[in-house]
Structure 1
Amino acid sequence: MLEKKTIEYERAILIGVINREQSEEKVSEYLDELEFLTFTAGGEVTKRFVQRVDVPNPKTLIGSGKMIEVENYVKENDIGSVIFDDELTPAQQKNIEKILKCKILDRTTLILDIFAQRAQTSYARTQVELAQYEYLLPRLAGLWTHLERQKGGIGMRGPGETEIETDRRIVRDRISLLKQKLKKIDRQMETQRGNRGSLVRVALVGYTNVGKSTLMNVISKSDVFAENKLFATLDTTVRKVVIGNLPFLLSDTVGFIRKLPTQLVESFKSTLDEVREADLLLHVVDISHPQFEEHIESVNKILAEIKSADKKTIMVFNKIDMYEHETIDEDDLITDRTNKHFTIEEWKKTWMEKIGDRALFISALNKENLDEFRTRVYQEVRDIHVTRFPYNNFLYPEHLDQYE
């Protein structure tokens, strides 16, 4: 009988800082997300450290007292990685490594590591490698122990470049090569998009882990990888979908996240061309997540960065089957009622009311309200199609059931 393999997770601790821009509540939310990122990357969080830092320590980000506390915990608990929620400078990373003598990562490094694990195609791997090298370049001296400058003295002044300058040049050359490779693939993908003809294009966008791939599988009856981990999908998947008698193209794109590294936004902009060229966006939101409003804001911010904020959009509030709200006892006169206590019906009467019929509430996993979803998407695609092909004799049924 074969023994089941037990997965060994690397022990890690998280460090967050409270400052003028990040309240204690906000830092707690960020660390929740960082813990999920750590789990996705193969780590197990054993403890969190939080410190109020109005002026970050230029050497170690956190204060010396807190650093001693962290150092003692790392030594006593066999910690493999210390992960900071905020981005570290090359100097800070080098100094902290010297003190803690273990792997030091920040949110950016962790996200890049997950992307490297998840990249399946040559295109995704090239994009991730480019982002990694661009992040690594200013950190060469801090990360690679063999790159110490040659010491002065008799017989110690070697000819030509020092090792660190040689390696910087190698990395710059690699970055240049990867950019050329991406340009070539971009041209090929642009040709592929052009060959799809004039079909209406619909793109699924949203925060990571909101259920885009699950929804894609339900609508297109395809088999797109979906998992309850962050960044399950890196490569854009495009499927031809027919609702009623009307065909259109549906694409599933990489999920967004708060504090997304600029290197990734840059290197993945070409992947997001599917979003830029879409006629209709389906903005999928995990309504069961306590911070779903912030997720919407983060997605809208990145859509603005890629000049897609003004596109026609339907808000798809997913995971209604998992939505829970806090209840207040009628006799409780102390607790203030906030949006944590809203039912879905009460949410619909808030700012969501302004969206009107552009807000849909579904469960892709349990297939709840999918008929309403299909009908709404069909109407939007039909309107775009009629505008594009005014003389096309398409039959538009009022009831889609007769064509399914």
Structure 2
Amino acid sequence: MTHIPTGPEQPATQSDEPTEQTVAPSRDAQAIADDVVARVLARAGTARSEGGTVHSAHDGDQLDLAERAALRRVANLSTELEDVTEVEYRQLRLEKVVLVGTYPGGEAAAREAEVSLRELAALAETAGSQVLDGILQKRAKPDPGTFLGSGKAADLADVVAATGADTVVVDTELAPSQRRGLEDIVKVKVVDRTALILDIFAQHAKSREGKAQVELAQLEYLLPRLRGWGESMSRQAGGQVGGAGAGMGSRGPGETKIELDRRRIRNRMAKLRREIAAMAPARETKRLDRKRNAIPNVAIAGYTNAGKSSLLNALTDAGVLVENALFATLDPTVRRTRTDDGRVYTLADTVGFVRHLPHQLVEAFRSTLEEVGDAALLLHVVDASHPDPEGQIAAVREVLADIPGVEDVPEVIVLNKADVADPAVIGRVQRRERRTVVVSAHSGEGVAELRALIADELPRPAVEIDLVVPYSRGDLVHRVHENGELTDEEHLAEGTRLRGRVDAALAAELEQVAV
């Protein structure tokens, strides 16, 4: 275990009691940090382990997963930098990484830091990296220049050199100056939590809209972080710049390489925004079509890797991709299904959330997340086996709070993975939340109860009908079967007699043709 001191070295003295009281808390903090990192590293390599994904009969053939597994990272490839632009620099893939985090002190803060650092390790492994070591530092607030402070950054450089790592991953979003300062000391690439999440999104997006949304988020993150490398940036000198210019023959074309990169990025961002806006009408048309046909929508939202796709498969046999990895599903999936009494509704699986989800992604995926605001019911899926399910719930609600209309959607907490969860943890969450249901998408436990809850929560047709529809309008009879509640159907000489309830629009059409 790497030993990184969390405070300044204290000189050994023959001093009195107060000096020892000053040293003791530092030792305690070091022990806490070492224990946290040891537990995180003990779980390293499990995020993408071969046996980590367990499928049920509802998951289908998982052809998408086979396609994804066909492309794997190749180990031992160098990502050393010499003279490349920032755009090229940020597209290089991660390989062997050292994790870095801070916590303000105390046992409670250390537990939160452990959950966050464990999640960071899973994110790094999902992106295709190998976690070699980790450092957790007790620090009230990050250093504005190097995040860790110059002394601790030098210690980190020693760890990087000793482990042979080529990337440092920091468990927060770094300011551009902090990343540059840390890179200058450790001499390898530094990636923050936001860049790591963006990298995973870029790998997993498949649809045209998803790819455009991810690229827009990446460019928004990259724009203030452009950095010049070597002589490739020295295209603007002209005259005696700063009193020491190269003079005649050195004047550039009037625009530096970094300015060219910025202009190209802004142009590309404008084009992506136009493309995403052009895709919105198609999704809105589908949404209006569901409203016109009175088909209610149930949205599935929740933390990443909570089991949302597995639950969708268990409820609908959709066969969408299921993988034991963070952000396995990015492109939203909508499937049609029925309640036990025959009413049609749709289930929409949305992108997962995570602590400190980059605001660029929230903005880029806002049009997709609006699906939640139009839902008749929100199934908030929670991993009941996670060390901090309450933290997951809070992180998801923080993101959903910015989506218009979500506050009016009834919410049900779905405690998933009950087959491997601690019953005490389930009971604790049930006492905190108003409406919960306990399920296991893998074993099928509680799925029938969830279906019954959905049927009870879905809006019922408002208009009662008792009329005869001519046989020439079988299309209307079909729509009653699809979208209404039919209590009795009788075939008469003049047509089909229907008794039941339908929505107001369909009732008006039926009245016009009724015999």
Same fold (TM > 0.5): yes
Other-structure match for 2:416: 318
CA distance in 2, matches of 1:346, 1:169: 53
| CA displacement, residues 321-360 of structure 1 (integer Å, 9 cap, x when unaligned) | 01136xxxxxxxxxxxxxxxx2645654x224xx2xx311
| 1:297–1:345 Cα change, 3 Å | closer
Structure ID, larger Rg: 2
Other-structure match for 1:394: 485
Q: Is contact 1:279-1:312 (8 Å) kept?
A: yes
Choose from 335, 340, 350 the match for 1:253: 350
Q: Is contact 1:279-1:311 (8 Å) kept?
A: yes
* 1:157-176 map, 5 Å: 157-176=251-270
1:73 deviation in Å? Answer: 1.4
For 1:369, the aligned partner's letter is: G
CA distance in 1, matches of 2:486, 2:203: 46
CA distance in 2, matches of 1:294, 1:134: 27
Other-structure match for 1:227: 323
Q: Is contact 1:236-1:252 (8 Å) kept?
A: yes
Q: Secondary structure at the match of 1:386?
A: coil
Choose from 312, 327, 334 the match for 1:216: 312
* 1:294-309 map, 5 Å: 294-307=391-404, 308-309=406-407
2:263 counterpart of 1:186: no
CA distance in 2, matches of 1:150, 1:53: 42
Q: Is contact 1:204-1:281 (8 Å) kept?
A: yes
CA RMSD of aligned residues (A): 2.4
CA distance in 1, matches of 2:356, 2:235: 34
2:460 counterpart of 1:385: yes
Q: Is contact 1:135-1:263 (8 Å) kept?
A: yes
2:365 counterpart of 1:268: yes
Q: Which moved more, 1:275-284 or 1:142-151?
A: 142-151
CA distance in 2, matches of 1:170, 1:58: 30
CA distance in 2, matches of 1:123, 1:311: 26
2:190 counterpart of 1:104: yes
Aligned length: 370
| 1:292–1:93 Cα change, 3 Å | same
Q: Is contact 1:141-1:148 (8 Å) kept?
A: no
Choose from 421, 432, 436 the match for 1:351: 432
Choose from 426, 437, 441 the match for 1:360: 437
Using the aligned pairs only, state the percent identity.
41
CA distance in 2, matches of 1:149, 1:294: 50
For 1:292, the aligned partner's letter is: P
- Alignment TM-score, normalising by the size of structure 1: 0.86
CA distance in 2, matches of 1:275, 1:143: 44
CA distance in 2, matches of 1:185, 1:371: 36
Q: Is contact 1:59-1:92 (8 Å) kept?
A: yes
| CA displacement, residues 14-54 of structure 1 (integer Å, 9 cap, x when unaligned) | 11112389922222211011011011101121111112232
For 1:309, the aligned partner's letter is: E
2:14 counterpart of 1:14: no
CA distance in 1, matches of 2:234, 2:143: 25
| 1:138–1:372 Cα change, 3 Å | same
Other-structure match for 2:246: 153
Choose from 114, 119, 127 the match for 2:200: 114
For 2:263, the aligned partner's letter is: R
Q: Is contact 1:94-1:143 (8 Å) kept?
A: no
Other-structure match for 1:68: 154
| 1:396–1:205 Cα change, 3 Å | farther
Q: Secondary structure at the match of 1:98?
A: helix
| CA displacement, residues 243-292 of structure 1 (integer Å, 9 cap, x when unaligned) | 22111011000001110000000000011121111111111111111100
| 1:362–1:142 Cα change, 3 Å | farther
1:300 deviation in Å? Answer: 1.1
Q: Which runs of 5+ in 2 are unaligned?
A: 1-69, 76-94, 238-244, 466-479, 489-515
For 1:31, the aligned partner's letter is: L
- Alignment TM-score, normalising by the size of structure 2: 0.68
1:88 deviation in Å? Answer: 1.1
CA distance in 1, matches of 2:398, 2:192: 22
